Amino acid sequence: MSSRPHGGVERNVGYHNELDDTVSSSEVQAKLHAEITRTIGKQLFAIRDRSEIPYVEAVILETLRIGSNVPLAVTHFVNEDVSFRGFLIPNGTTIIANVTSVHHDPSVFPDPFAFRPERFLDDSGRILQASEQVIPFSMGQMSCIGESIARIELFLYVTRIVQNVEFKLPAGCKRTTLNGVFGITYRPEDYNVDIAKRNLKI
């Protein structure tokens, strides 16, 4: 199977989804800040710190899963006849993976529309190996070449933002939902948020 080259827009949408998920759950935000404060305090994070703050990684994984920034993966095509589960896929057929369907499969992710980072943690609170069903950067040999950089950026973005500011819903505003706007990308609905600088005295 081959795939056609594509450009990536996942990171900007990913940042938006991450912020939306953080705002929608004060409990998640509090846990994030507590883990960051306990591990690093007010120092700058480095990539080597990722293994020391597993809850941050779990939140990122759950955001990528439930957000499904690109609902339909980049097109692939078969370069020979393929038999799959009793179906013949002729040579030259275009294949498009439904990423959203994979990410919301209840047989893999129980209660799939609930934002639950703990599903990626073991009983001791350590990060589990990410499931092969979490494929926000497409799949196959020609998946997004920027995946490694995007994951690092998400880690640095989340830790630095939560370390320094707190997100709150403005008075009178309803709590945000995890519903989104479907298009080439899947983004959160518009929402209002108050941002307050944290007291960084540790």
DSSP 119: G
pLDDT band at 76 (very low <50, low <70, confident <90, very high): confident
How many domains is the chain partitioned into structurally?
Answer: 1
pTM of the model: 0.80
Q: How many whole angstroms separate alpha carbon 111 and alpha carbon 114? A: 6
Query: Does a structural domain hold residue 202?
Result: no
Domain limits at 25?
Answer: 2-197
In tens, the pLDDT along 113-123 reads 889 999 999 98
Query: Does a structural domain hold residue 189?
Result: yes
Between 105 and 71, residue with greater pLDDT: 105
Q: Is 144 annotated as a binding residue?
A: yes
Q: 41-61 burial by CB neighbour count: b if 16+ within 10 A, else e?
A: eeeebeeebbeebbbbbbbbb
Query: Does a structural domain hold residue 125?
Result: yes
| CATH code at position 38 | 1.10.630.10
